[in-house]
Every structure is written in C-alpha cells, then in structure tokens.
Amino acid sequence: MDKRQTVVSTANQQQTLTTSQGMPVDGNQHSLTAGPRGPILLSDIHFIDKMAKFDRERIPERVVHAVGAGGFGHFELTHDVSKYTKAKFLNGVGKQTPICVRFSTTLGERGFSDLDRDPRGFAIKMYTEEGNVDFVCNNTPFFFIRDPLKFPDVIHSRRRNPQTNIRDPNMAWDFISLNPESIQNIMFLFSERGISDGYRHMDGFSAHAYKWVNAKGDSFLVKYHIKTDAGVKSIAPEDSVKIEQRTKDYSAEDLWNHLGSGKAASWTFFIQAIPEAEAATYRYDVTDITKIWPHGDYPLIPVGKFVLTRNPSNNFAEMEQVAFSPGNICPGIELSNDRILQARVFSYPDTQRHRLGANFEQIPVNCPMYGKIHNYQRDGPMRVDGNQGGGVNYEPNSLGGPVEDPSTAAKPVAVSGHAMRNLYANTGDIDMEQPRAFWERVLKEESKKYLVNAMTKSMRTCRPDIKQRMVTLCTNVHPEFGTRLKTALENVDAPKL
C-alpha cells in the first residue's frame, strides 16, 4: 500500500483531545489562572505545549520554489526503452511506479501569487525498487545561465532590491543584458507560455542532459520532455491580474479541485537521446543547459505516462516537507557534465539538510518505499526510524554488515584538461542561433507582438543604458526583434533611450 495514504484525517471520529505527549486535555478554551482575574499558571501544561508548538510551526522556506502544490499518482512505462537504459522502473512495459509531484513558481515567497510570470518547477519523485529517483524539471527547456557560480546572482537579480525590499526591474534586466546566454529563456518566459493556466496545462523539461546506460554498457545523453495531455494553455496578463484580485492560489486551487473531483491529470514522457560518442561532436555542447536539441536533429521518443490521481493528505507533511534532488538517480541513469546539474546535485540535499534537518530522508514522503535503508550512518537529530537497531555501524566488519554491489557502478568518465576556471568553449553567435530560430520559425506574428509588449512593460522603468543593452542583445538575436523592442520602448511612457 502507498505509505503516504496512512496519513488519514481523524477529524470526524470524535477522539479525545490530547497534549502532544498523549495526555487527555480537560479544557481547550480557558487557560489555567489563579482566580478569575489572576495570572496564567506555569502549571498549565496544555497551554505551554500548545503555544510552544505554535511558536515553532514555520520551517525555513525554500530559498527558491517556495510557492507550490502537487499530488500523488503513478508512472507507467508504455514503451520499451531497454535500448537506452537498464533502470528497472524503465524496463518491463506496463510497469507502474508510485510518484509524488510538486509544481511551483520560482521567485515568489510563500503566499505570493502562483500566476506570476516566472519559470514553473515540475518536480517528480518516483518510489522505485532501486530507491527514489527524482526528475526535478522546469516548464522551460533551457535555463538562464550555464555556470552555477552565477546561480545566486541570477536569483538575487530577479528578487527584491536589498535596500527597498521591492522587486526592481533594473536589477533583473541589468543582469540579463550582461548575460547573452539568458536570452532564449527570457524569450520563452516573456512569451504566452510565461503565465501557465495552472499547473495541469504546462510541460516539464529536464533541460539538463542526463546519461542513460543500457545493460550492455552503451550510453546516451538524454533530455526529458514531459508533455501535458491536457494541452499547453496560458493566461493573458490582463486576466491573471483579475484572477489575482480573487485569489493568489489559482494554480493550486485548479489542481486541488481537479484531483479532488476524482479526475486524473496526465503527462506523456518523451526523451531525446544522443549516443554518447556522437554527443562529443554535436554542433551544440550537450553540457550547456542554455541550449535545446532541435527536434529535427533528435526527435522525441515516447517512454511513458505520469498520472496524478489524488491530492495530498496534508500539505505540510507532504508538499512542504517533500525534498527533491536531481542527484536521486538509480543504476542506468547517470549524471552528465552539465555544470548546473552537477551543482544542483550538491545544492538540493544541502538546502534540505538546512530546511528539514540531517535526517530529512526519514520524513515519510521522502522515504524510499521499497526495502529498508542499509548502511553505516547513524544518529543525528530526529532519527526516528529505529536507527538500524543493533546492526553493525562500521566497515570493514566481520559481522555480516551490508556490502557494496560493484555491478551498480557508473560508467567510467574520461576527463582531461587543466584544472582552472574554464570558460565554455562554444559561445558567441552560436548562443543566438536557437533564439533566432524561435523568433523566425516558431513564433507567429501575434506571439512576436506579445513577446515585445511583455518585455517592454517589464523594462519600461529601467535605466536607459540597460534598455540599450537589451536592444543590442535582441538585435543580435534578430534585427527585426531589436528594432521592434527599441520602437516599443521609445513609445511607452518612460524615459527615452
């Protein structure tokens, strides 16, 4: 049985009210006082227990992706992909694996509108027989930066001004105008798809290349595309403003009501796969997360379905405490040299240890569902799983402790070169090729107008030098794009260029 279903509501069963130690509570409306007008007594154990718990209700909010919602369901393998991977949950057509999914926005603090123009998170935890495997995706197939050393900077620039605590478009556009590799993500974000109509109507992308390895040891660089079966749908900015007057939780509400009414939400999972040897000479650097792989070069290969069928039983227990990491992989799925992926593999568990504690894997939603954990790790705050009982806690040992399985080792990776702050080699006009294709081939006239209009609105109060740099950057993408942006910026009610 799905362990998570054991968290059931007892609201209708008229249980006796207790303290957190289980002692029956005699009264919950009036404090224990010395006489009707006297002070509260320290011996009001229930009052102190209740207030102390309340005082500690908040845990640190996620540093990004604080606003979110999700649910539970399963992944079903619909196609044979044994040619690409030996991962057990991806072998055996028809096999189902339980999943937990959390959608989110990126920048907003808890309580912020979930209709913000912002990349959406789309994180999936699969409880496989080889441990938890997470796909920690976004609804954009690329990212703003390709070196993680800039990650805090890109997030700071799009957040609040440190002095005024107000979001400052100067900061965001200053950063972008000085990072040409961001432009493809910006064009997606300021297109119609930048404001998804809820979480059910958006796609998810790994954006990273992972490495998949089959049973023979053949390896492939693989990107994930998780396409909504409900169709991509967006909300016009003027409509989102109206909705935000009623609720800041539109996307969460839509998902809750949909799953709550007994309907399922589903996505089809595709991959793009490049044989590893071919990847080395591919025109685009496969470790560069600011690039897609054109579908014409590597078409989508169907794999399976992600299906959500039920809401969480409790938001804090499951959605607030769920802890994802792109480093949660299994034999047959390995990391690539994508620098952002490598950094996330460190950063996600690092932030979970800070946010949830050293033993965050023991929180039920994060526990591997199949089999127990066997290792030599012990103790730490909130160790609640029995701490592996009387099992031996060191290795080597002669006591029959758990042993390694060398057959699960990752494929050896050849490395060469100098240890130094290496630049990405393949940059320059190649960074403009894909945004140019997006402008020339993908965007229809209406979408081009929308894009220029949305960027202009966001940039209208920016300093002239920032606007000028953005016009130059967009001109490098396509002269028509640059000219249209320049004209639009000159015609909004703001300082001229």
Among 25, 64, 155, 232, binds ligand NDP (CB under 6 A): 232
Catalytic residue list contains 311: no
Q: How far is the CB of 69 from ligand NDP (least distance, A)?
A: 23
Contacts to ligand NDP from residues 371-390, by CB under 6 A? none
Size of the site for ligand NDP (CB under 6 A): 17
In the complex with ligand NDP, the residue whose CB is nearer, 32 or 232, is 232
Among 193, 201, 305, 467, binds ligand NDP (CB under 6 A): 193
Q: Looking at 138, 179, 359, 366, which residue is catalytic?
A: 138
Catalytic residue list contains 65: yes
Contacts to ligand NDP from residues 395-434, by CB under 6 A? 434
3-state SS of the chain is CCHHHHCCCCCCCCCCCECCCCCECCCCCCCCECCCCCCECCCCHHHHHHHHHHHCCCCCCCCCCCCEEEEEEEEEECCCCCCCCCCHHHCCCCCEEEEEEEEECCCCCCCCCCCCCCCCEEEEEEEECCEEEEEEEECCCCCCCCCHHHHHHHHHHHCECCCCCCECHHHHHHHHHCCHHHHHHHHHHCCHHHCECCCCCCCEECCCCEEEECCCCCEEEEEEEEEECCCCCECCHHHHHHHHHHCCCHHHHHHHHHHHCCCCEEEEEEEEEEEHHHHCCCCCCCCCCCCCCCCCCCCCEEEEEEEEEECCCCHHHHHHCCCCCCCCCCCCEECCCCHHHHHHHHHHHHHHHHHHCCCHHHCHHHCCCCCCCCCCCCCCCCCCCCCCCCCCCCCCCCCCCCCCCHHHCCCCCCCCCCCCCCCCCCCCCHHHHHHHHHHHHHCCHHHHHHHHHHHHHHHCCCCHHHHHHHHHHHHHHCHHHHHHHHHHHHHCCCCCC
Among 188, 250, 267, 269, binds ligand NDP (CB under 6 A): 188
Among 442, 449, 479, 491, binds ligand NDP (CB under 6 A): 442
348 labelled ligand-binding: yes
Q: How far is the CB of 316 from ligand NDP (least distance, A)?
A: 34
Can residue 141 be called a binding residue for ligand NDP (CB under 6 A)? yes
In the complex with ligand NDP, the residue whose CB is nearer, 113 or 184, is 184
In the complex with ligand NDP, the residue whose CB is nearer, 321 or 434, is 434
Contacts with ligand NDP, 101-140, as mask; x by CB under 6 A: ----------------------------------------
Can residue 303 be called a binding residue for ligand NDP (CB under 6 A)? no
Can residue 206 be called a binding residue for ligand NDP (CB under 6 A)? no
Footprint of ligand NDP on this chain (CB under 6 A)? Answer: 141, 184, 188, 191-193, 232, 292, 294-296, 434, 437-438, 442-443, 447
Instruction: Please identify every residue annotated as catalytic.
Output: 65, 138
